Structure 1
């Protein structure tokens, strides 16, 4: 039932994005995938938390950029505080979702809002509408494909912390890498590298070096599979890729296996999530029916994510060892006491 529930939610999100021509329609697919994959039963409170987190993060990030865009030092301090709060929130299971959304969505909005040619208000409103619609999509999916009561066990994300010194090290690691990504995307002209920025933030979710290394491998494998699936959809459809019904049907079929992986443990679930994003983002943003296909966008996505993942892992490795070296005296003093 869970596979059918996730598959239905993603296909329905794709259909809505195509019917209403949402500029960032991939959110309508990835949100049901994320929510339905994490929760075995419908929770209005959890969905409202996602909505509040999205509205709060997009509003705060937009205001910060618009107010302090011409004051780089003040903007850096304000963003640093925002990122720090989100990293701290990710250390507790009860606030993990709020922190992750703040870090993920906040980084995207901060990058987009710094470009004058991007209508950030349109992006924010589009994301708000998608998040509201996602509540209805998830509720409908749970109603059509209910889970047995005996099997309803929520998958809560937690970040284990053994000591205060480890807590500080994990928060510092996430904060350093998130701020490094912020500065790079502010200085460089990387407005078309949304997937690379998303990959950087996803690598931070374990908040540890070992966890990030594992996520990096998963991200590359999943992206490769998703890009391959997208290219196959393009080749199979051929000149008929401009037919909306055929395109929806082909993408729905391609999403089926990745949705099934969401029920097969953490590793396959993570690979499936990465593959879904690699499949749906180019096909909903770069594809213009009867005008432009998404083949080159698919190739660019894989190459940009591969480079971003490799560089991020290097930064995480350096940051991890530097932070540990700085905290080593404090740890030794704590153990002696």
Structure 2
């Protein structure tokens, strides 16, 4: 595969041949993303981000499946719907209490992410707390339909992950990642830094109704996943590169599909090819939310939520690149300021663990 040769030339010291587990992981991501796109097109729902991006995220971030993972996904979807019901029913007319409630919810999720064992529950909760309010900021959004799509999309991601692991099982047992023992000050630093900035993003995207804002919002949220300044710089760089490549893939697919925009099977074939190329980069990096993961989520967002082959993809690509870049630059500036402020106090000082 040419992508393997490209990686070998670009990273000769880091490159390792594709293992059996890596190949199975690639196939699981591609299967889940393609089937999610199929169900989204079949049901014809306007909230395709839940049907396409959720399966890609679950199979991409977690290269296995068990009941603990399934429980975290389902519990998060149900709890998040309850949270949205409370926020947008009782607090929607009270900006300050609503902002405070969102900050508390973000703090709980990022605290779980920083601790580790419930990282999936925390990370998916952060995504839901960002995606659903963005949709609900529009008066035309049907809350019941949105919450239904969130729950069904989460269940679909669980089912597709289970089926993918059954069809493409690992060739050898996977080793558990070594636990990271973080100091209490580092946990507080990561939790507060990410929570404050995520809340600021929430306020900005609630106050300003921006066209096609979901990609820019998600770019800022994904940049916060490392939960510290140096990690945010790397994550933002990877995100920009991934969005560029993902938009190029989408543009090529649009050009090939030019006169065949109604052929779903051809679209699935082309998107699956793009997904497996991006998955190859993802399994090579082994860094979680890297360039490959960014390409995967960009493709899922474009074809699952905003872009159908018969739409103007050139303008959409250019707008997405511009908005994502501006969002990431602004996020990094605020992250740097928060990093410096929190380091002024011993209880919230970031001390890298040995």
Three-state SS of the structure 2 residue aligned to 1:103 is helix
The residue aligned with 1:240 is 260
After TM superposition, list the pairs within 5 Å mapping 1:201-220 onto structure 2.
201-220=221-240
After TM superposition, list the pairs within 5 Å mapping 1:258-269 onto structure 2.
258-267=278-287
Could you give the per-residue CA deviations for residues 191-214 of structure 1, whole angstroms, max 9, x where no partner exists?
A: 630111111111111111011011
> What is the deviation of 1:155?
5.4
The residue aligned with 1:27 is 50
Three-state SS of the structure 2 residue aligned to 1:166 is helix
In the alignment, the residues of structure 2 paired with residue 83 and residue 263 of structure 1 have an alpha-carbon distance, to the nearest angstrom, of: 29
8 Å CA contact 1:5–1:145 kept in 2: the answer is: yes
The residue aligned with 1:47 is 70
After TM superposition, list the pairs within 5 Å mapping 1:296-315 onto structure 2.
296-315=315-334
The residue aligned with 1:279 is 299
The residue aligned with 2:314 is 295
In the alignment, the residues of structure 2 paired with residue 41 and residue 68 of structure 1 have an alpha-carbon distance, to the nearest angstrom, of: 39
- Structure number having the greater helix percentage: 1
Three-state SS of the structure 1 residue aligned to 2:212 is coil
1:57 aligns with 2:80: yes
Change in CA separation of 1:32 and 1:4 when aligned onto 2, cut-off 3 Å: same
Which blocks of at least 5 consecutive residues in structure 1 are unaligned? Answer: 332-337
In the alignment, the residues of structure 2 paired with residue 173 and residue 262 of structure 1 have an alpha-carbon distance, to the nearest angstrom, of: 27
Name the Cα RMSD after superposition.
2.2
Could you give the per-residue CA deviations for residues 95-142 of structure 1, whole angstroms, max 9, x where no partner exists?
A: 222222222211222232233222232122112112112222122211
Task: Give aligned pairs, total.
Answer: 326
The residue aligned with 1:151 is 173
1:319 to 338, 343, 347: 338
In the alignment, the residues of structure 2 paired with residue 153 and residue 87 of structure 1 have an alpha-carbon distance, to the nearest angstrom, of: 25
In the alignment, the residues of structure 1 paired with residue 101 and residue 61 of structure 2 have an alpha-carbon distance, to the nearest angstrom, of: 32
In the alignment, the residues of structure 2 paired with residue 144 and residue 93 of structure 1 have an alpha-carbon distance, to the nearest angstrom, of: 29
2:192 to 172, 175, 188: 172
Change in CA separation of 1:58 and 1:302 when aligned onto 2, cut-off 3 Å: farther
Could you give the per-residue CA deviations for residues 237-290 of structure 1, whole angstroms, max 9, x where no partner exists?
A: 212223222222211122120122232133486211111222232223333465
In the alignment, the residues of structure 1 paired with residue 305 and residue 225 of structure 2 have an alpha-carbon distance, to the nearest angstrom, of: 26
Q: Which TM-score applies when normalising by structure 1?
A: 0.89
8 Å CA contact 1:8–1:141 kept in 2: the answer is: yes
The residue aligned with 2:12 is none
Three-state SS of the structure 1 residue aligned to 2:69 is helix
8 Å CA contact 1:11–1:252 kept in 2: the answer is: yes
Q: Which TM-score applies when normalising by structure 2?
A: 0.85
In the alignment, the residues of structure 2 paired with residue 329 and residue 80 of structure 1 have an alpha-carbon distance, to the nearest angstrom, of: 19
Could you give the per-residue CA deviations for residues 21-42 of structure 1, whole angstroms, max 9, x where no partner exists?
A: 1322243332232222333432
8 Å CA contact 1:108–1:194 kept in 2: the answer is: yes
In the alignment, the residues of structure 2 paired with residue 320 and residue 245 of structure 1 have an alpha-carbon distance, to the nearest angstrom, of: 48
8 Å CA contact 1:91–1:159 kept in 2: the answer is: no
**Which 10-residue stretch deviates more, 112-121 or 62-71?**
112-121
In the alignment, the residues of structure 1 paired with residue 42 and residue 268 of structure 2 have an alpha-carbon distance, to the nearest angstrom, of: 11
**Which 10-residue stretch deviates more, 88-97 or 293-302?**
293-302
> What is the deviation of 1:226?
0.2
8 Å CA contact 1:86–1:100 kept in 2: the answer is: yes
In the alignment, the residues of structure 2 paired with residue 139 and residue 90 of structure 1 have an alpha-carbon distance, to the nearest angstrom, of: 23
In the alignment, the residues of structure 2 paired with residue 191 and residue 317 of structure 1 have an alpha-carbon distance, to the nearest angstrom, of: 28
8 Å CA contact 1:62–1:109 kept in 2: the answer is: no
In the alignment, the residues of structure 1 paired with residue 319 and residue 61 of structure 2 have an alpha-carbon distance, to the nearest angstrom, of: 30
